[in-house]
Amino acid sequence: MKKTNLILIALMALIFVSCSEDETTMSMPKDNAIEFGTYLGRDAQTRASVLTTKTMATDGFGVFAYYTDQVKWDEYSSKGTANFMDNLKVTSKTNGATWTYSPIKYWPNNDGAMVTFLAYAPWVEGKTITEEAKVNFKVENSIKAQTDLVWNTENHIDAKKDKLSGNVNFKFNHALARIGLKLEAAVDKVDAGGRLDKNTTITVNSVTLGSTLKDSIEVKQFYTGGTLDLTKTTAVWDPVEGMQAFVFNTTNGNLQNNVIKGASHINAKQLNTDDSYLMV
């Protein structure tokens, strides 16, 4: 009796997006208006949902700013209310050469006055900030709907106009890891001719990543979301919440050529698209 085994191989390349500073844009202040410049850590591969300067120029980044007068940030008690800029959307029509927003905000005139600037991207309508100066982020279960997340790591706590020459430059780093996936299938044993029987069809309908069985109970291994501290220079997710697994199938567009029919597939055959990534 002939025996045919299908071996499914999942190859995962964990790709942490880089934080190089080779992409820089700046703008000069006009009068007393606050203007923005950006530094964006750029990944060598710009496929999938990784945020770039070009996409951020269109989608915008969000700014939470606090006018604290002469009260230092550590002593400021109303961090859940951004009283100067509340999720202000900043965009660019010049692919990041200059950035604009409305309405224009101006530096306070009183001596010693301080403003604290926090920022994230891409901008999300209705995004709020917590009393601990954190923002919530949801990791979409639908692979097609997943987005990147970056936040400013340049220290603009207790900022003063004279220290910044009037211009606020943000340095955005990536808060998520991008996992690249390559799903392959191969036939382990076939008939003497090295081919499947012409009437044999093997179809891979779906592949689940991040799900195991322990004592017959499914254990999921990826978080569904968390809160990111916008004041930190390294990604601090606290707290995190929920657990989930991810499914690759033909519906979400990640599986292609998923049918093996009447031909030799002793060598591994790739089943998914090249741009199959998870942002987690």
The answer to whether the CB of 69 falls within 8 A of the CB of 116 is: no
Four-residue CA torsion sign, 29, 128, 54, 156: positive
Those residues with Cβ within 8 angstroms of residue 155's Cβ, 6 or more apart along the chain or in another chain: 233
Residue 259 lies in a domain: no
Give the pLDDT score at 193. Answer: 56
Q: What is the pTM of this model?
A: 0.81
pLDDT along the chain (280 residues), means of 10: 40 34 35 80 47 90 96 94 96 93 93 95 96 94 88 94 87 88 68 61 83 88 94 92 89 76 63 78
Give the pLDDT score at 41. Answer: 59
Structural domain boundaries, residue 137: 17-174
Domain count across the chain:
1
Task: Report angle CA 208, 224, 227 to the nearest 5 degrees.
Answer: 155
For residue 106, the domain's CATH number is: 2.60.40
Residue 8 lies in a domain: no
Going by C-alpha positions, the residue among 38, 23, 59, 53 that lies closest to residue 119 is 38
Residue 75 lies in a domain: yes
> What would you measure as the largest C-alpha separation in the chain, in angstroms?
89
